[in-house]
Chains A and B, each alone.
Chain A
Amino acid sequence: MHEQSGSIWKSMRTGTAGIGWFLSYVAVRAAVQSPQPFSRSALIAIVLLPVIPAAFFLFFFIRDMRRKDELERRIQLEALALAYPLILLLLLTLGLLDLVIDLNPEDWSYRHLGPFVILFYVIGLWFSTRRYR
């Protein structure tokens, strides 16, 4: 019981770090998209700020993965095995499309690809979790 509550606390810590990363991204995006008095080099430094909460998230996430049992690790692996080729497919297809048509950067820039990466991972997680349920 004590171990279980410790496990929940550690997962919450990872979740909190993830939310912190997301909020820092949203805040930085809002800051750089609004009219601001910052110089170009200051803006680059601001844009790099979410790397700090991301590093915390990555640290806790990897610790969580190491604590998981073998089936939970397999589920994560299978989720990534599905998500990774899908991400590659999306990038390669966009790359090819970019050669033949002008992709609107307001629809298809780097910042639009992040949600797809998360979506593919969640789809992979759903499929692999369902398989072993």
Chain B
Amino acid sequence: MKNRLRVLRAERGWSQAELSDKLEVSRQTVNAIETGRYDPSLPLAFKIGRVFRHKIEEIFEE
């Protein structure tokens, strides 16, 4: 699954550590999602959507 997490994070000037704090996950998790090695659960995907103020489908795509 592809995602725009890295782009959205860069737009806001956040580091992976800052984003991981906002999502309450580890930095490794943020990195794994950004690189497409890990697809987040639905609750985490919703949380990502809330943090970036986007719908899930605007961040993630098949």
Could you tell me which A residues sit within 8 Å of B by CB distance? 69-72, 74, 131-133
Contact = CB atoms under 8 A, between A and B. Distances in A.
Contacts, number: 28
B29 A70 contact: yes
Interface stretch (B8-16, B20-28, B52-60): B20-28
Nearest to A4: B21
The SS class assigned to the B binding surface is: loop
A32 B24 CA distance: 48
A133 B44 CA distance: 19
Given A70-B40, A70-B41, A133 B29 contact: no
Q: How large is the interface on B (under 10, 10 to 19, 20 to 34, 35 or more residues)?
A: 10 to 19
B29 A72 contact: yes
B37 interface: yes
Contacts of B28: 71-72, 132-133
Contacts of A131: 37
A99 to B, nearest CB: 44
Contacts of A72: 26, 28-29
A115 B38 CA distance: 31
B29 A69 contact: yes
